[in-house]
């Protein structure tokens, strides 16, 4: 038995892989742990529509019934969005949840892993994980970063989540040889904000250029993924000073409550939403749609040159 025996791929996606059609991987943690029901279900359908609108096929990932699901039907999407007793699976959890048949939503790291197993090379998410503030003491560093170093998937995001130490996150990616590309920008985006104050390694002009970089990297046998920082649309960008104060407040609340590990990001995002009166959720939705759009364009171009 090999890893392919654990994959459950929908017929549409299986056919698309065989015919080298553009496919975009999507995570399910944002559905089960990032948004309330039924807003998350509306988002799940909308983001898949965005992908299809650009000429690509969506592949939402999850762990269900002892299988790595590549693509979810309407019933499975509904189940994931209700979020009852659904775990949050990073790389270390995959074997446990498969063996015990426990349902789990996929993080950035796990979605990349499953996409790579299935032969899908482009993935759209909201924001990547990274080095948490205070990691010098806690060693709280997202498994996403190791996945970028070893897994051949191009990840389109609005940068890393604002709750992280962005400078240390970029240093970590550099150490592990992960290219950080700015999509039509020289500034690394900061989730709710267009710019973090940090630069990218290279700014790229369009999807075709990203696709050529992907192909060249992997043709050379250079292991690992690419991070494409795609800024949130200007009209939905939040004020940097305002969001920083809110994040600082949310981080302190997490410390007071003793929240750490996997529970940190969901708690902080929910707290930030509450403190901003829902503005952060609206921004989160729009940046995710924008990432899905750009990722789909990259997948289309990559399919052409592959």
Closest CA to 153 of 11, 23, 60: 23
| Percent over 90 (pLDDT), the chain | 69
Which residue is it, tokens 């990259």? 298
Query: Contact, 189 vs 230, CB < 8 A?
Result: yes
pLDDT at residue 262, as a whole number: 64
pLDDT at residue 193, as a whole number: 87
Catalytic position from the list 69, 88, 161, 217:
161
For residue 151 the two structure tokens come to 């897994």
Given pLDDT bands bounded at 50, 70 and 90, which one contains residue 253?
Answer: confident
Residues whose CB falls within 8 Å of the CB of residue 235, separated by 6 or more in sequence, listed in order: none
Query: Contact, 143 vs 107, CB < 8 A?
Result: yes
Question: What pTM, to 2 d.p., does this model score?
Answer: 0.91
pLDDT at residue 277, as a whole number: 66
pLDDT at residue 247, as a whole number: 76
pLDDT at residue 266, as a whole number: 72
pLDDT at residue 296, as a whole number: 98
Out of 51-65, 233-247, 267-281, give the one with best mean pLDDT: 51-65
Query: Contact, 55 vs 71, CB < 8 A?
Result: no
Is residue 27 part of the annotated active site? The answer reads yes
pLDDT at residue 138, as a whole number: 66
Closest CA to 196 of 226, 228, 170, 225: 170
Res 260 pLDDT > 90: no
CATH of the domain at 34: 3.40.1790.10
The rounded distance, in Å, linking the Cα atoms of 299 and 302 is: 5
| Percent over 70 (pLDDT), the chain | 95
pLDDT at residue 106, as a whole number: 97
Q: Kindly write down the DSSP assignment for every residue of 16-51, as one continuous string.
A: HHHTT--EEEE-SHHHHTSS-TTHHHHHHHHHHHHH
The rounded distance, in Å, linking the Cα atoms of 291 and 296 is: 8
Q: What is the mean pLDDT of residues 3-18?
A: 96
Res 265 pLDDT > 90: no
Q: What is the mean pLDDT of residues 154-178?
A: 91
- The tally of domains found in the chain comes to 1
The rounded distance, in Å, linking the Cα atoms of 110 and 128 is: 12
- Strands 57-64 and 104-106 come out as antiparallel
Given pLDDT bands bounded at 50, 70 and 90, which one contains residue 164?
Answer: confident
Compute the mean pLDDT over every residue in the chain, rounded to the nearest whole number.
91
Q: What is the mean pLDDT of residues 273-299?
A: 86
The rounded distance, in Å, linking the Cα atoms of 143 and 109 is: 6
Which residue is it, tokens 């994040």? 247
The rounded distance, in Å, linking the Cα atoms of 224 and 39 is: 34
Res 278 pLDDT > 70: no
For residue 132 the two structure tokens come to 């948490």
Q: Which structural domain range is residue 26 located in? A: 3-305
Is residue 14 part of the annotated active site? The answer reads no
């Amino acid at each position: 038995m090999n890893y392919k025996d654990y994959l459950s791929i929908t017929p549409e996606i299986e056919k698309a892989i065989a015919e080298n059609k553009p496919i975009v991987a999507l995570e399910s943690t944002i559905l089960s742990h990032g948004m309330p029901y039924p807003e998350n279900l509306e988002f799940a359908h909308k983001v898949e529509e965005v992908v299809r609108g650009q000429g690509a096929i969506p592949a939402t990932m999850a762990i269900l019934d002892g299988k790595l699901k590549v693509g979810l039907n309407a019933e499975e999407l509904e189940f994931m969005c209700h979020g009852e007793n659904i775990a949050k699976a990073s790389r270390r959890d995959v074997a446990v949840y498969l063996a015990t048949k426990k349902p789990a939503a996929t993080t950035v790291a796990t979605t990349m892993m499953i996409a790579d197993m299935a032969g899908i090379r482009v993935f759209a998410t909201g924001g990547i994980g990274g080095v948490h503030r205070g990691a010098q003491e806690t060693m709280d560093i997202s498994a996403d970063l190791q996945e970028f170093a070893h897994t051949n998937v191009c990840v389109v995001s609005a940068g890393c989540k604002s709750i992280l130490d962005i400078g240390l996150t970029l240093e970590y990616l550099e150490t592990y040889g992960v290219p950080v590309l700015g999509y039509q920008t020289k500034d690394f985006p900061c989730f709710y904000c267009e710019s973090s104050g940090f630069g990218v390694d290279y700014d790229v002009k369009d999807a075709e250029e990203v696709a050529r970089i992907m192909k060249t990297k992997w043709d050379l046998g250079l292991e690992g993924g690419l991070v494409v920082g795609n800024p949130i649309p200007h009209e939905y960008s939040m004020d940097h000073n305002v969001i920083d104060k809110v994040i600082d407040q949310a981080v302190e609340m997490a410390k007071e409550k003793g929240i750490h590990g996997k529970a940190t990001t969901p708690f902080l995002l929910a707290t930030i939403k509450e403190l901003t009166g829902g503005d952060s959720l609206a921004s989160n939705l729009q940046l995710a749609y924008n990432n899905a759009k750009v990722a789909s364009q990259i997948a289309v171009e990559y399919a052409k040159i592959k």
